A and B are shown apart, each in its own frame.
Chain A
């Protein structure tokens, strides 16, 4: 049996450190999710408005954020702002800002898509039955939008969690960085540690994201419209 380097996991506080690293990744992504979902809902609703100025501004925002790789955004906010504006923000803060900007953009597009996917006939049938505007939204439009939206936004959340693996590039010590540190520290005694550690990281990401995707699939089946 080849040495998979699994023993390194159990040495000292290595496993606890990895879990701590995952904690950092989860904290950053969850803070970003909590801020970007409500913001995305508001911006997405605004995008369906007829005002051309608001529409154009939001369109530019969405395209810029989407076209730029997340890594570039992270560098821009972490290194760029420090030099250009003399603002000294921590790597974790920069990550939260970038993930929030990105999450908000993606979420707003999902919301816009869900809203315009509701056919005009749904509004008219509700009106023809005597529903007023508020009731139409409450009983007919919002329940349908939410059903379309929840699986998609859960998907976005898992993408945000996974993308935190980039933030080690701006010096945030998250799970991947902790893994690298452990591998480096054990280079002499356990040269095969890389396999064991990365396998452990794979499992950690898997168990963080898998229940969320399962939930998405369950809701998708349940709420098929």
Chain B
């Protein structure tokens, strides 16, 4: 087994009296792609936000390469650079060009050489097919293009772990594919990723392991084939059934 990159140990997350995550534990190995699925409000997004220290946790621990992730920590910026996150609402910085959106953090946070960063950013844009939009502004891009830029922005920090929070949920259907293809390429190149998604076909294709979350707990966990084809628990079966449509045409025959 490869090295453990991220260790989530029995975490508890509460908003006031509402427990959103109730004792979640799992490990992520280097190069592994984890897909988290579950009904709305089950805590999937909150889980990602806790991993990136956007939310404080009330119990348990999250460690990245042995270092504890804690929102109150002084070393938070250092840790955050190792974790890239892409949000549902492709929130590029509207006042900056596409290229600047990508290069500003490596330059200002990581203090890297601007020329070098720009070269890397352009190469990454090339890979997602947006090299010619480098000088455009976010308002001139489609949703799918913005989301691809947001992915490049996260990548350019050279993170060890990438988090995707329902990145296609706000997109028009015809733009979903171009974003998912970028993610499939990343998985193929051996990136470690945790993906929250409602695209079940995509989940099946990309996941090394699927985690099914319901009511703040891990209900089922396993490889995608057995999870999607032979779910062990009732709750997982019920959840997966909501994505199936029974044909009504045969009934009349």
Q: How far is the CB of B196 from chain A (nearest CB, A)?
A: 15
From 128 to 186 in chain A, residues with beta carbon under 8 angstroms from any chain B beta carbon are 128-132, 135, 139-140, 143-144, 147
Contact B80 A129 (CB under 8 A): yes
Using Cβ atoms and an 8 Å threshold, which residues of chain B touch A119? Answer: 89, 91
Option from B80, B91, B94, B105 in Cβ contact (under 8 Å) with A225: B94
A224 within 8 A of B: yes
Q: How far is the CB of B65 from chain A (nearest CB, A)?
A: 16
From 109 to 126 in chain A, residues with beta carbon under 8 angstroms from any chain B beta carbon are 119, 121-122, 124-126
Contact A129 B109 (CB under 8 A): yes
Contact B108 A135 (CB under 8 A): yes
Contact A124 B105 (CB under 8 A): no
Contact A223 B95 (CB under 8 A): yes
Residue picked from B80, B92, B139, most chain A C-beta under 10 Å:
B80
A63 within 8 A of B: no
Contact with A along B88-114 (1 / 0, CB 8 A): 010111110000000011001110000
Give the size of the chain B interface in residues (CB under 8 angstroms).
25
Contact B77 A132 (CB under 8 A): yes
Using Cβ atoms and an 8 Å threshold, which residues of chain B touch A126? Answer: 93
B212 within 8 A of A: no
Contacts A129-B80, A131-B105, A131-B108; is A122 near B54 (CB within 8 Å)? no
Contact with A along B136-149 (1 / 0, CB 8 A): 00010000000000
From 5 to 36 in chain A, residues with beta carbon under 8 angstroms from any chain B beta carbon are none
Question: Can you name 29 A-B pairs with beta carbons within 8 Å?
Answer: A119-B91, A121-B87, A121-B89, A122-B93, A124-B87, A125-B92, A127-B54, A127-B80, A128-B54, A128-B80, A128-B85, A128-B87, A128-B154, A129-B153, A129-B157, A130-B77, A130-B78, A130-B81, A130-B105, A130-B109, A130-B157, A131-B77, A131-B105, A131-B109, A143-B95, A144-B94, A223-B95, A224-B139, A225-B95
A-B contact count (CB 8 A): 59
Contact A129 B91 (CB under 8 A): no
B52 within 8 A of A: yes
Using Cβ atoms and an 8 Å threshold, which residues of chain A touch B110? Answer: 130
Option from B87, B92, B104, B139 in Cβ contact (under 8 Å) with A139: B104
Closest A-chain residue to B105, C-beta based? A129
Q: How far is the CB of A99 from chain B (nearest CB, A)?
A: 32
Contact A135 B109 (CB under 8 A): yes
Q: How far is the CB of A39 from chain B (nearest CB, A)?
A: 26
Using Cβ atoms and an 8 Å threshold, which residues of chain A touch B77? Answer: 130-132
Contact with A along B40-55 (1 / 0, CB 8 A): 0000000000001010
